[in-house]
Amino acid sequence: MKPEHAAFARDFFTEGLQQEAKTTRNVLNAVPATKNDYKPDPKSRSGFELAWHIAASDSWFLDGILKGAFDPSGDKSNKVPAEIRTPGDIVAFYDKNYIARIPELSKLTPEQLAKVTDFFGAFQYPLAVYIGWLSNHSIHHRGQLCAYLRPMGGKVPSIYGGSADEPFQMGANA
């Protein structure tokens, strides 16, 4: 990948990450605090664990991109820390460690973004490619969490259009 292509990917995906983060935040906010242990299957994570995984892995993935290296020991997304007790705690973590840091991507130079970066020995891609991976990973797990919301007693927010719980609203200019 040429540096100018990496810079284009950074700018394109950063704008998308900012929009998707708002939507993900709405989904995390929709997790009811009263049914944190809900699982659709014994093999599944609970809704609360899945919400934590989204917030923590988005933050970890972003950190790896910003540092130009992915540290597996820094991934805390599979175990909810004791200080994270409510969905509101997860949202506060997400706001501070992910949403507030997305703009830092713009500080990465085209040369940094074009550098081939190892991902656990399984993949070697230019760093810019992992920005798209971050987005895809987050969207994937957000979709899983949305499927949990109604059985947990929550409401599904609008994502790419209305939902039965939050119908689409036409804009004033429509």
Name the residue range of residue 86's domain.
Answer: 3-149
Tens digits of per-residue pLDDT, 13-71? 999 999 999 999 999 999 999 988 999 999 999 999 999 999 999 999 999 999 999 99
How far is the C-alpha of 43 from the C-alpha of 82, rounded, in Å? 22
Among residues 63, 141, 132, the alpha carbon closest in space to that of 102 is found at 63
In a domain? residue 94? yes
Q: Give me 51's structure tokens.
A: 């919400």
Average pLDDT (104-121) is 95
In a domain? residue 173? no
- Look at strands 116-119 and 123-126 and give their pairing: antiparallel
In a domain? residue 97? yes
Q: Which amino acid is at 174?
A: A
User: The CATH number of the domain where 93 resides is what?
Assistant: 1.20.120.450
In a domain? residue 165? no
Per-residue pLDDT at 75: 83
pLDDT over 90 for what percent of the chain? 83
Per-residue pLDDT at 21: 97
Instruction: Give the chain's domain count.
Output: 1
In a domain? residue 67? yes
In a domain? residue 95? yes
In a domain? residue 166? no
How far is the C-alpha of 65 from the C-alpha of 80, rounded, in Å? 23
In a domain? residue 86? yes
